[in-house]
A and B are shown apart, each in its own frame.
Chain A
Amino acid sequence: MRVRRLAAWTALPLAVTLGLVACGSGGNGGSGESDPNAAVRIEIAEPQHLVPTNTNETSGSQVLSALFSPLVDYDEAHKPYEVAAESITSEDNTTWTVKLKDGYTFHNGEDVTADSYIDAWNYGAYAPNGQNSSYFFEKIAGFDDLQGETPKATTLSGLKKVDDHTFTVTLSQPYSEFKSILGYTAFYPLPKAAFSAPGVLAEGYEQAPIGQGPFKMKGTWQHDAKVEVERYDAFPGEQPKVAGVEFRIYQQLTAAYADVLSDNLDVIKTIPTENLSTAAVDLGDRFLQSPASSLHFLAFPTFQEEFSNPDVRKAISMAIDRDEITKSIFKDSQQPARSFVSPVVAGYRDNTVGAAGEFDPAKAKELYESAGGPSKITLSYNGDGGHKDWIDATCNQLKANLGVDCVGNAEPKFADLLTKVKAKQPVGLFRMGWIMDYPSMENYLGPLYSSNGSSNYYGYSNPEFDKLLAEGVSAPSEEEAIKKYQAAEDLLAQDMPVVPLRFGQNNFGHSTKVKNVEVDLFDRVDLVKIEVVK
């Protein structure tokens, strides 16, 4: 859902085949001329916010990706390359020098300068502004001084302007992959016009954000209805092949799906679950799949006595037939997972879970009994997310393969589940999902498995893992960092704090009126590539 696009794709053979088929023919669309004066209509939900540092959901970041151009984007190997930046360099991985490309202007004519970035980031990091993505700036020196109700400072001490188009970012500790983070929505610049006073966002800016990207706003954000943008001709980067985009707001995906079927809408980014089984027939080769960054897993409450033995956890993993569930329940809309990080990050290796990832009921039962696993297992999930089917299927497999009693326990909402888990109530195993913020192994390993990870609700703590992760973060080069991360991931395979189940995919479709539709790792349509068929 977050950060920028990854165009072509290599890791998942299925997705590649489907993608190529689509590029080759694409309904009536593949061969026709494209019309640069037409606009495309893309489905989104009502964005929560349209200020870069306050936007951390898909719909908002889709709109902002039209209005802004990021410092870096990601190539096919998931490595960042410069877009709005001329160069991003560091000698010691602590002080980073960002040099901006000349020629970028905001849609109101203002030059994009070092101050545009510094002001925007300071605004985002300042706690009283309550920005959703402020945690992205926590690696920058001086972040702590901007926290609390009455912060000590209003600006990050780590941000220094060198000249109009150069600034330096000093981190509080070395971080080799800082460049990767910079592709995220939170790091877009803001024009002077966005502020009514230093550090105060102008009222109404959010209703018609001014950016420096390939599109500019056409009118204002029409809540619950649409956001319209049109091509910005002074954009110095690659010009889009459409005249504009109408982001049409839908509450229900099924409504958007009906519109795509009747050519009233051009792109639906997520095919609704109930239509997945018929989408291939309804849309033919206009039904497409591409990899996404999400990782779905079952977490063990490792703080509970009965799940504290890694062998019990491995046995449960072995007793689950991932391939069968992804096929019969998810209709191949997701991929079975046997690693602790998603295939969309550099350093991913297939099957790091090892033997515990292989479906082997006999061995699972033997191991489970010798390790003294509990005779009753509960799988908890949030009832509002459509998880019941696969939870029940998993339960049935555990019942059949381990000879245990298994029940699914639905909590009304994810928040309710988290409340119980945080209070260490015995909810049994519980489902979790993770979507990355930036393509790095660290973005999975840190929040999910480190002792003080923001999403480590299962109490997993391995000092050696923490040490390897910290070494990776401050490693002198990315290659060395990845080596450390991989060593850390190997520890996870021994401990099995969670059972990785599935990797997400974007399942999207388009009308007969457009071609070259690509959806990136962050669930955003590539607005530079998409074309309208004449």
Chain B
Amino acid sequence: MFRFIVRRLLQMVVAFFGTTLIVYALMFAGQGDPIQALAGERPVTAAQRAYLTEKYHLDATGFGGFFYRYFDYLSNLLRGDLGESLTGRPIGEILANAWPVTIKLALIAIAVAVIFGVTAGVLAGIRRGSIFDNSTLLLTLLVLGIPTIVLAPLAQYLLGVKWQLFPATSGADPSFYALLLPGIVLGSLSLATALRLTRTSVAENLRADYVRTARSKGLPRRRVVTVHVLRNSLIPVITFLGVELGNLMSGAIITEGVFNIPGVGFNLFRAIRTEDGPLVVGIVSVLVVVYLVSNLVVDVLYAVLDPRIRYE
């Protein structure tokens, strides 16, 4: 196991540099005129243009220019300096402010997905064909069918503005309660998927030979379900949730925007809109690490859940 983790960590280093190179190249190739983008529709004076061009090496173009800027970026990165955004703020500081709230939000979303999704999935799997099963099927189809871009403003309007059960927006440094509504909205999609996965998996495992054996041994039904069925049914769900955690952290662009949470998605959205190359690369680099780590955790959890899985 230890060797497996070390090997994976080494692979992560390679994957990290590979992805930053690709992201940097994409931003470089897709970059129009970041100075004009920053100024909006105002004319940019020649002096201001010269100042920013020099500061961010925007005049280094073409193949050589790309590698010049990329290695410049990398050498700073290795010294722990993520650089400055085009508005002159240190990217490290932006990320340090953005991450805590995004992590909180993602954890709430995952908790919602696990608590409601997995529980309801198990129940629906055990009582296949019941009213509960059918109604959850309908509900999850509905949730899966509504994109977040509709769901988030709708939930905000109904629960935040009309009935005022939750604050309409969370803002910076929000309380747990203020984050609850965006967390539920964000988690609802994962909830639906987790529920469907768990249900199918449980329903299938209930018919497996080892369950019949356990039953015929005279084990109580509760023990059969919680220990034998659940443990085996969770493998696909864990895979899904692990990948989903990465998604939730980066994919909260819409939710964070609607509920005004200045997290990672919020900053990524702004960075892309203003063509702020350094900021986009900085955020994406960290997201890559998040994905790699969550995948590693998933792989380790496999071994815990299913002792037959060995990595050596």
A contacts, CB < 8 Å to B: 46, 48-49, 56-57, 127-128, 130-132, 134-135, 147, 149, 222-226, 248-252, 254-256, 258-259, 261-262, 264, 384, 412-416, 418-419, 432-433, 435, 447, 454-455
Contact = CB atoms under 8 A, between A and B. Distances in A.
B307 interface: no
Contact of B168 (A57, A222, A264): A264
A130 B55 contact: yes
Most A CB atoms within 10 A — which of B37, B40, B156, B266?
B40
Interface stretch (B114-122, B196-204, B253-261, B293-301): B253-261
Contacts of B36: 413-415, 418
B176 interface: no
A418 B260 CA distance: 32
A250 B33 contact: no
Given A224-B262, A225-B172, A251 B270 contact: yes
B167 interface: yes
Contacts of B175: none
Given A127-B47, A249-B262, A416 B97 contact: no
A262 B168 contact: yes
Nearest to A147: B47
Interface stretch (B11-19, B157-165, B187-195): B157-165
Contact of B89 (A134, A223, A454): A223
A256 B168 CA distance: 9
Nearest to A46: B270
B52 interface: yes
Given A48-B87, A224-B94, 18 more contacts: A46-B270, A127-B51, A131-B48, A134-B45, A223-B89, A224-B172, A251-B270, A254-B258, A255-B169, A255-B259, A258-B168, A258-B169, A259-B168, A264-B168, A412-B32, A413-B32, A413-B37, A435-B42
B40 A223 contact: no
Top 9 closest pairs, chain A to chain B, by CB: A225-B172, A130-B51, A224-B262, A415-B36, A255-B260, A415-B33, A258-B168, A454-B43, A262-B168
Interface in B37-59: 37-43, 45, 47-48, 50-52, 54-55
Contacts of B42: 56, 435
B260 A447 contact: no
B98 A224 contact: yes
6 contacts: A48-B38, A130-B52, A224-B98, A224-B262, A250-B260, A418-B33
A224 B169 contact: no
Contacts of B33: 415-416, 418-419
Given A134-B48, A224-B266, A264 B167 contact: yes
A352 B247 CA distance: 56
A254 B153 contact: yes
A284 to B, nearest CB: 15
B306 interface: no
A432 B160 CA distance: 38
Nearest to A135: B45
Contacts of A261: 161, 168
Nearest to B47: A127
Contacts of B169: 250, 255-256, 258-259, 264
Nearest to A126: B47
Given A222-B172, A259-B168, A447 B43 contact: yes
Nearest to A146: B47
Nearest to A455: B43
Interface string B104-119: 0000000000000000
A416 B34 CA distance: 10
A147 B93 CA distance: 32
B94 A251 contact: no
Given A135-B45, A224-B98, A224-B266, A419 B32 contact: yes
A440 to B, nearest CB: 17
Given A130-B52, A251-B257, A415-B36, A258 B45 contact: no
Interface of B: 32-33, 36-43, 45, 47-48, 50-52, 54-55, 87-89, 93-94, 97-98, 153, 156-157, 160-161, 164, 167-169, 171-173, 256-260, 262, 266-267, 269-270, 273, 275
Nearest to B43: A454
A93 B66 CA distance: 51
A455 to B, nearest CB: 5
Given A130-B55, A256-B260, A251 B38 contact: no
B172 to A, nearest CB: 3
B43 A252 contact: no
Contact of A149 (B38, B48, B50): B50
Contacts of B55: 130
A149 B59 CA distance: 15
A75 B172 CA distance: 38
A416 B258 contact: no
A262 B163 CA distance: 9
B48 A130 contact: yes
Contacts of A264: 167-169
A271 B94 CA distance: 28
Contacts of B39: 132
A203 to B, nearest CB: 12
A146 to B, nearest CB: 9
A46 B279 CA distance: 15
A256 B170 CA distance: 11
A86 B47 CA distance: 33
A258 B267 contact: no
B97 A224 contact: yes
Contacts of A259: 168-169, 260
Contact of B258 (A57, A252, A432): A252
Given A130-B51, A264-B167, A413-B37, A223 B97 contact: yes
A447 B43 CA distance: 9
A249 B173 CA distance: 13
A128 B270 CA distance: 27
A455 B48 CA distance: 16
Contact of B87 (A49, A131, A225, A414): A49
Contacts of A412: 32
A252 B39 CA distance: 18
Given A225-B171, A250-B260, A251-B269, A57 B40 contact: yes
B51 A251 contact: no
Contacts of B266: 224, 251
A415 B42 CA distance: 10
